[in-house]
Chains A and B, each alone.
Chain A
Amino acid sequence: DQQVKQNSPSLSVQEGRISILNCDYTNSMFDYFLWYKKYPAEGPTFLISISSIKDKNEDGRFTVFLNKSAKHLSLHIVPSQPGDSAVYFCAASGGGYSTLTFGKGTMLLVSP
């Protein structure tokens, strides 16, 4: 039973355009959500997070949107750059626990 779902295994975008990565969750106890970026042969790198008291958090080119009623979050990257090509994982925690539940990841390819 997957509690965090990333339904798109891959996404291709042209350089300079917007990349939108999506994530859905089922556990209503989740109240903290994170995005990680992972390059091959490296560990996941923390990118941006959002708590359930907010619906938007922005950091430079990266913005995360949270829709609690739909149990959906998305990561927007604007403008996309070739160096953004990586696997992006959505993760969530909640219920007073700091442990993370991950989605399966979306591979983003940004072409020049």
Chain B
Amino acid sequence: SAVISQKPSRDICQRGTSLTIQCQVDSQVTMMFWYRQQPGQSLTLIATANQGSEATYESGFVIDKFPISRPNLTFSTLTVSNMSPEDSSIYLCSVLEGTGGINQPQHFGDGTRLSIL
């Protein structure tokens, strides 16, 4: 499966600042997604990153707070804006390879561990 690299792997940030997380894949993939895992919780989908167009956000997540870019089929960024301690989470990028159709497993990067002071 594709090799997925996320940067940074971890960071500690001050409240009110913003951080951009990068996700790089070693091959072209059909779909890319961003998830959040808050402490003790399950993985929650933030949005689907669409190549060349605006991301599709899930209920409870908005573009102003989590702007996403996907300029090509191998790269995406997620920005966490105006951070507060509640944003302390693991942020994960995932991809769908091949035809990207239904009934295909997603593959995940190692995540970015974000702590807000």
Residues 95-111 of B, flagged 1 when their CB comes within 8 A of A and 0 if not, give 01000111111111111
Tell me the number of A-to-B contacts counted with CB atoms below 8 Å.
Answer: 59
| Size of A's binding interface in residues, CB under 8 A | 27
Other-chain residue from A41, A46, A98, A102 in contact with B44 (beta carbon distance below 8 A): A102
The size bracket of the interface on B is: 20 to 34
- Interface check A69, CB cutoff 8 A: no
Contact indicator B43/A98 (Cβ below 8 Å): no
* A65→B3 CA distance, assembly (Å): 29
* A73→B1 CA distance, assembly (Å): 25
- Interface check A96, CB cutoff 8 A: yes
Contact indicator B33/A45 (Cβ below 8 Å): no
Q: A98-B100, A98-B101, A100-B106 are in contact. List 9 more A-B contacts (CB 8 A).
A: A42-B111, A43-B4, A43-B110, A44-B43, A45-B108, A98-B31, A98-B106, A99-B58, A101-B45
Question: What are 18 A-B contacts defined by CB distance under 8 Å?
Answer: A4-B42, A32-B103, A36-B108, A41-B110, A41-B113, A42-B110, A42-B111, A44-B108, A46-B107, A49-B103, A93-B102, A93-B103, A97-B102, A98-B31, A98-B96, A102-B43, A102-B44, A104-B40
